Structure 1
């Protein structure tokens, strides 16, 4: 079993979670990505968000929220994603990069209607809903 170490960003507005549509994986998922060798989690997340959403973040404004373990969407069977999720508490204006087809805010019910669903996004939406942060 392979482990994929990743980080994800939680941007919540009007009780909905921002998800990014990956052109490569044809699915909405948490903005973020893999932690490269020699990178800190927060450093990797700042790099990924700049690449995906054209938003510059500082490590200091990222607040750890939760850890998710789930099958890695779009990877070979048996690959497990270990993802630390961080919240951002300021308003930003994300602009999708070339690898991101679209960005959209979802309630948990709206995401459940998507044809392709990333297990990690399902897990984090479930936790956010249980805690009353999203609808």
Structure 2
């Protein structure tokens, strides 16, 4: 739920493999997003990322492989004034298997060029690409 100043607190997961970023296709918004979602009232960003990834990808995140990375502020997709405030966590997936939850139609790894060919782009995802490229985590 958005707070009173027009911002939406969220948590997102950054999984990189073969120089590509894992994105999840939301059935509701019809766009590719970082896996994760809204932080519920009384919940920390860390608690939220664990819950959201269990719901969306049926993954139990391993705490020793999860690392806080950055904060992204971006216009929430499909909104005119609502700003998404996203806490982003890096995660190494290793051999864990993704099983899609009901909200997610697909997951796929993208480089920026492939993502830009999609019919819709999410500003927060583009900012994640910017930061990961600036920090040389994606090339």
Q: Normalized against structure 1, the TM-score is what? A: 0.93
> 3-state DSSP class of the match of 1:78?
coil
CA positional deviation for 1:101: 0.6
Q: Does 1:102 align with 2:109?
A: no
Report the Cα distance in structure 2 between the residues aligned to 1:40 and 1:62, rounded to whole angstroms: 15
Contact kept, 8 Å, 1:42 with 1:59, in 2: the verdict is: no
Q: Does 1:126 align with 2:130?
A: yes
**94, 114, 118: which one aligns with 1:114:** 118
Contact kept, 8 Å, 1:23 with 1:100, in 2: the verdict is: yes
Contact kept, 8 Å, 1:72 with 1:119, in 2: the verdict is: yes
Report the Cα distance in structure 1 between the residues aligned to 2:63 and 2:86, rounded to whole angstroms: 17
1:30 alignment partner in structure 2:
34
CA positional deviation for 1:73: 0.6
2:80 alignment partner in structure 1:
77
Q: Does 1:64 align with 2:68?
A: yes
Q: Does 1:86 align with 2:89?
A: yes
2:51 alignment partner in structure 1:
47
CA positional deviation for 1:126: 1.5
Q: Once superposed, what is the RMSD of the aligned Cα atoms? A: 1.3
Report the Cα distance in structure 2 between the residues aligned to 1:109 and 1:133, rounded to whole angstroms: 16
Q: How many residues align?
A: 134
Q: Normalized against structure 2, the TM-score is what? A: 0.90
> 3-state DSSP class of the match of 1:129?
helix
Stretches of structure 2 that go unaligned for 5 or more consecutive residues are none
> 3-state DSSP class of the match of 2:46?
helix
